[in-house]
Copies of this chain bind each other. A is one copy, B any other.
Amino acid sequence: MRLKSMKRRTLQKETIKQIFQQLDQPLGIEQILCKGREKVPALNRATVYRNIRLYVEEGLLLKINHPALGTLYERAGRGHHHHFYCRICDQVFELPGCALKETNVTPKGFFAESHEVFVSGVCSSCSTRDFSSITNTDHENPPA
C-alpha cells in the first residue's frame, strides 16, 4: 500500500514549467496554452489548468487576479513587486520594488497583512514606437 502518490515527469508538465522559467512576466491561460503547443501541439486546455493548479499548490507559481486581464500566473519567489499593465500591447510587466507603506494607507485599528498594486498606462516600448495608436483605444476602465 502506497502512502504517498508519486509524481511523474511528462512532456506537458515540463513544457509548462519551462515557459515560466524562460520569462519574467505573468501569463494568462491562453498564452500558456499557445506557447505550450509550440512544443506539444496536442496540449489540452484542461491539462494546462491542472498543471498550473498543481504548480500553484506546490508554490512554484502565483495566481494573480488582474483588474483588466483576469486570471494570470507568474513564477513565485521573486520577491514582493507590483504590476504594470500596458493598454496598448496588453502585456503585464513586473515593477521592481514597492513604494507603498501599508501604515500610510491603513486607518487606526486596521491591521494590514498584505497588499497588491496594479498600475496601468503605456509601457516604454509602446510609448516610443507609435504615438498615434495611444489615442486609439477602447478601454473599459478609464483612468481614475
List chain A positions with a Cβ less than 8 A from chain B. Answer: 63-68, 70, 80, 82, 84, 87, 93, 95-102, 104-124, 127-128, 140-144
- Given the complex of chains A and B, what is the CA–CA distance between A141 and B57 in angstroms? 11
In the bound complex, residues from chain B placing their C-beta under 8 Å from that of A116 are 67, 117-118
Question: Shortest beta-carbon distance, A138 to chain B, in Å?
Answer: 14
Q: State the number of copies, please.
A: 2
In the bound complex, residues from chain B placing their C-beta under 8 Å from that of A93 are 110
* Chain A to chain B contacts (Cβ below 8 Å), 20 pairs: A65-B66, A65-B68, A67-B116, A84-B106, A84-B110, A95-B107, A100-B117, A102-B119, A107-B124, A109-B123, A109-B124, A109-B127, A111-B122, A113-B120, A113-B143, A114-B119, A114-B144, A115-B118, A115-B144, A117-B117
Could you tell me the dominant secondary structure of chain A's interface residues?
mixed
- Given the complex of chains A and B, what is the CA–CA distance between A119 and B110 in angstroms? 10
- Given the complex of chains A and B, what is the CA–CA distance between A70 and B104 in angstroms? 25
Going nearest first, the 8 A-B pairs with the smallest beta carbon separation are A109-B124, A99-B104, A114-B143, A113-B121, A113-B143, A115-B119, A112-B121, A65-B67
